[in-house]
Homo-oligomer: A and B are copies of this chain.
Amino acid sequence: MTTAPQASFFAGIARRGLLFIMSSPSGAGKTTLSRKLLAADKLISMSVSVTTRKPRPGEVDGKDYYFISNDAFETMVADGDLLEWANVFGNLYGTPRKPVETALAAGRDVLFDIDWQGTQQLAQAMKDDLVRLFILPPAPDVLRERLIKRAQDSSAVIAKRMAEAAHEISHWPEYDYVVVNDDLEKAHQQVFAILTAERLKRRRQLGLAEFVRNLTKEL
């Protein structure tokens, strides 16, 4: 017979964290859904990228980005310290490997707001830890309205933005899950359910074998 009181036996199962990727065309509500997910759950946090671009007013180093030099960035690439990186109009952006691996090993999850290219790179680096979610807008009108909402934009800028959105959307078949953001609260519940379910996958619950061993020791 066990002498420890029953209530203390189950204290959760140790698990490996996961990388939760949300991609979408701009205007599908991804940023709002990311914020709601971060607010709803303490075990997931946003990945902070390194970048060589200059900080914009109000941006905080270590929170919005880690602002680093071109030399430092290139050293990280050479040392394999970035899980993925990209050159966007001459500025370099990348995801540092170490904080992600530390989080996963500690059973914490990391949220990524990246496009299909970053997703493909991450998939190569971290295959089994990845959960890929694509967010779609509910209707063409919604998408178009959001893409043209800044009235001062030229039609050339708008056309370019639409082409980018169409291209981003064309990569939806590379994702594990798809949520249509028709109703913000419903979409949030769906995103939260995906995170909850993925944490309950047997293979992520590293402490299960030991838990079952102790559970059945005296049967």
Contacts and interface: CB of A to CB of B under 8 A. Distances in A.
Interface of A: 2, 6-7, 9-10, 13, 134, 136-144, 162-163, 165-166, 169-170, 172-173, 175-180, 182, 189-190, 192-194, 196-198, 200-202, 205, 208, 211-212, 214-219
A137 B215 contact: yes
Given A141-B2, A179-B200, A190-B200, A212 B9 contact: no
B196 A190 contact: yes
A172 to B, nearest CB: 6
Contacts of A139: 6-7, 9-10, 215
A199 B138 CA distance: 18
A196 B162 CA distance: 31
Contacts of A211: 136, 180
Contacts of A140: 2, 9, 214-219
Contacts of A201: 176-177
Given A6-B139, A9-B141, A194-B196, 18 more contacts: A6-B138, A6-B142, A7-B139, A9-B138, A136-B215, A139-B215, A140-B219, A144-B218, A144-B219, A163-B219, A169-B215, A176-B201, A177-B197, A178-B205, A193-B193, A193-B194, A193-B200, A194-B197
A96 B217 CA distance: 38
Question: Nearest 4 CB-CB pairs, A to B?
Answer: A197-B197, A9-B139, A193-B196, A10-B138
A38 to B, nearest CB: 18
Oligomer copy total: 2
27 contacts: A2-B140, A2-B141, A6-B139, A9-B139, A9-B140, A134-B202, A137-B215, A139-B215, A140-B215, A140-B216, A140-B217, A140-B219, A144-B219, A165-B216, A169-B216, A172-B202, A177-B200, A179-B200, A190-B196, A190-B200, A193-B196, A193-B197, A194-B196, A194-B197, A194-B200, A196-B197, A197-B198
Contacts of A215: 136-137, 139-140, 143, 169
A10 B182 contact: yes
